[in-house]
Amino acid sequence: MKIAIVAPPYYTIPPKKYGGTERVIHGLIKGLKELDHEPLLLGPGDSKVDCELIPIVNKALNFPKKDSAAFRKSVSTALKKTGIELKKIATAVDIIHSHGFDMKSFAKLPNVTTLHGHIGFDDLSYYRQRKTLPFISISKNQQAAYPYLNYVGVVYNGLDPSEFPVVTMPRDYLCFIGRFDLDKSPHLAIELALKLGMKIKLAGKIDLDGASYFKDQIQPFLDHPLVEYLGEIGFAQKIDLIGKAKCNLHPLLGRREPFGLTVIEAGYCGTPTMAMNRASMPEIIRDGRTGILVEDFIEGYSQIEACFKMDRKYIARRTRRHFNYQRMAEDYEKAYKKVLGEFGETSK
* pLDDT 10s digits, 166-221: 999 999 999 999 999 999 999 999 999 999 999 999 999 987 778 899 999 999 99
Which domain, by its residues, includes 175?
A: 161-322
In a shared domain, residues 142 and 201: no
Average pLDDT (94-123) is 96
Residue 346, pLDDT above cutoff 70: no
Give the per-residue pLDDT at 211.
87
pLDDT digits (tens, 9 = 90+) for 281-338: 999 999 999 999 999 999 999 999 999 999 999 999 999 999 999 999 999 999 999 9
Average pLDDT (19-41) is 97
SS3 221: helix
What span, in angstroms and rounded, lies between the C-alpha atoms of 231 and 254? 21
CATH code for the domain of 166: 3.40.50.2000
In a shared domain, residues 223 and 267: yes
In a shared domain, residues 139 and 110: yes
* CB atoms near residue 150 (< 10 Å): 13
Reported pTM: 0.95
Give the per-residue pLDDT at 347.
47
In a shared domain, residues 106 and 234: no
In a shared domain, residues 76 and 104: yes
pLDDT digits (tens, 9 = 90+) for 214-253: 999 999 999 999 999 999 999 999 999 999 999 999 998 8
Count of domains forming the chain = 2
SS3 246: coil
**pLDDT category, 66, cuts 50, 70, 90?**
confident
In a shared domain, residues 313 and 336: no
In a shared domain, residues 28 and 131: yes
Residue 125, pLDDT above cutoff 90: yes
What span, in angstroms and rounded, lies between the C-alpha atoms of 182 and 207? 11
Residue 343, pLDDT above cutoff 50: yes
Residue 67, pLDDT above cutoff 80: no
Cβ–Cβ < 8 Å for 41, 29: yes
Give the per-residue pLDDT at 348.
33
In a shared domain, residues 167 and 314: yes
What span, in angstroms and rounded, lies between the C-alpha atoms of 138 and 126? 19
Q: Over the chain, what is the mean pLDDT?
A: 95
